[in-house]
Amino acid sequence: MSKQKIGSSTIEILDHSDKVGIALWMAKKRALASIGAAAEANAKKEITKKVYDTPPSPSYHRTGNLRNSISHAEDDDSAYIGTNIKYAPFVELGTSRMNPRPFLRPAASDGQYIAQYKALLKESMENA
């Protein structure tokens, strides 16, 4: 707080930039957590459509491990989705014997999902 005398009047200046900065940082963290969770759910929806809702192939056995392994994480500036299953890149990108069945890329970049993520960001920032 600072006071300045201008003529016969005194003006008091209050600086709340630290509180505003903390509120914005917390809103960003909430937004990233919401977007990460939504992206994880969208990736699971995509893998369900592309793998589990299609007729089974005799070359693989459906266990649900890939879908169940999809998770998300956040850092200070980004939200991430992924899986630790070793064969996930072959499903996502395909092989010489198998067509690609992308589930992570659509969840990260499809227009309908981007609109959802923007809405989650807007909601978090408006409620800061």
Token pair belonging to 65: 């491990």
pTM, two decimal places: 0.82
Are the C-beta atoms of 43 and 52 separated by less than 8 Å?
Answer: no
d(CA 73, CA 43): 14
Amino acid at 78: S
Please state the length of the chain. 128
The pLDDT score that the predictor gives to residue 1 is 64
Give the range among 27-31, 51-55, 86-90, 99-103 with minimum mean pLDDT.
51-55
Pairing type for strands 79-82 and 71-74 reads: antiparallel
